[in-house]
Chain A
Amino acid sequence: MSFIEWIKQPWPWYVAGPLIGLTVPALLILGNKSFGISSSLRHICASCAPMNISFFKYDWKKEIWNLFFAGGILLGGVITAFFLSNPNPVTIDPKLAVELASYGVTNTEGLVPKDLFNWENLLTIRGFILMVVGGFFVGFGTRYAGGCTSGHAIMGISNLQLPSLIATCCFMLGGFFFANLVLPLILKL
């Protein structure tokens, strides 16, 4: 197996996890930056529509590194899609496959389910909730909590911050509740 074929396979957790962890010291050493991504959304608000809201009145140019970082993540996605993508369908847990099939979600090609997330579905109730309402909760919730999975769960806990541990537990609790009790109702729509 050539190197490129080998690297195209999905990476196991014990490779990806430590590499993600190394992002923390990498950003600190590259420029005294604390790892996190959700703030990029706030900087976009501060640069485009501060509307005299005190929360958005700061010199966002001082945090522009975060937008460069987020832009890099997008480019990383492009590069992977063009050069490193896994030619095989995503393997998913058989129980999940059965459950999803009952909602008509059978296409497991790619990482974002094509049966749910596409432009045509945007105007259906199910698609609107998953894409638009879901996105709103991500943006509102992360800022209200003061960070996302990278900021709180990885950077915050790595710096032994109790508030970050509490936030992370709430992310998981919210996700458990919603994915098991509410999402099935939405997927049935």
Chain B
Amino acid sequence: MNTVTKNFKTADLNTDFEVRAQHSICVNRSELDKPLWSNLKFTIAGILFGIILVKSEVISWFRIQEMFRLQSFHMYGIIGSAIVVGIISIFIIKKFKIRSIDGEVIRFDPKKFNKGQIYGGLLFGFGWAMTGACPGPLFAQIGTGATVIIVTLFSAIAGTWVYGYLRDKLPH
């Protein structure tokens, strides 16, 4: 009896993970059931990340316009060097089989290509040029006191919802 329940649980977990990982890079790969407060460490990571975004002016509409007009190297330098550090970090994690602080094996999921990456990517590019912000900077901009960006954030949530609603009808 016990084994059956356990098997069912795993099956549910797997399907739920598949839905969660659908069209998403940023997933929780941990299978531990941790208390809610333990997520506060991600708030601290977010605070540090937010400070970096603001201080480097990544959240600036002007910097994004300069990037798309090839008037400044700043954003290219940031994204480029972030990728280099990211590649080296993941290489080290894989090579030395580094575990998480909870002792879990760190897992990565290969992503499959679909046409959404092209169509969606272009549409996001349009939005990035208009708002001068990707999702992370939207949160940071609101934090710095640009309260009207709350409207932009709600609109982005609405956009995500409409995508979910139309998903089956869109080419992928």
Contact = CB atoms under 8 A, between A and B. Distances in A.
To the question of whether A and B form a pair in one complex, the answer is yes
Interface of A: 7, 10-42, 44-45, 49, 51, 53-59, 62-66, 68-81, 84-86, 90, 92-93, 95-96, 100, 108, 110-113, 116-119, 121-122, 129-164, 166-180, 182-183, 186
Given A34-B108, A113-B61, A135-B155, A69 B43 contact: yes
7 contacts: A13-B73, A53-B167, A70-B136, A79-B50, A138-B135, A138-B156, A147-B25
Contact of B47 (A75, A112, A153): A75
Contact of A146 (B24, B50, B138): B24
A144 B135 contact: no
Given A30-B101, A131-B148, A139 B156 contact: yes
Q: Which 4 A-B pairs have the closest CB atoms?
A: A76-B50, A72-B46, A174-B125, A77-B143
A45 B157 contact: yes
A76 B8 CA distance: 41
A178 to B, nearest CB: 4
B168 to A, nearest CB: 8
Contacts of B90: 24-25, 28, 158-159
A74 B109 CA distance: 28
A137 B159 contact: yes
B52 A11 contact: yes
Contacts of B10: none
Contact of A174 (B39, B54, B122): B122
Contact of A68 (B40, B108, B129, B153): B40
Contacts of A25: 86, 89-90, 92-93
B118 to A, nearest CB: 5
B81 A17 contact: yes
Interface residues of B, number: 131
Interface of B: 16-17, 19-20, 22-30, 34, 36, 38-62, 64-69, 71-87, 89-90, 92-93, 98, 100-102, 104, 106-114, 116-136, 138-149, 151-165, 167, 170
Contact of B82 (A17, A110, A136, A152): A17
A65 B102 CA distance: 15
B53 A174 contact: no
Given A93-B66, A163-B111, A174 B89 contact: no
Given A13-B77, A146-B25, A157-B83, A68 B131 contact: no
Nearest to B116: A144
Contact of B138 (A53, A63, A138, A179): A138
Nearest to A48: B157
B144 A78 contact: yes
A65 B42 contact: yes
A148 B83 contact: no
B149 to A, nearest CB: 7
Contacts of B125: 141, 170-178
A181 to B, nearest CB: 10
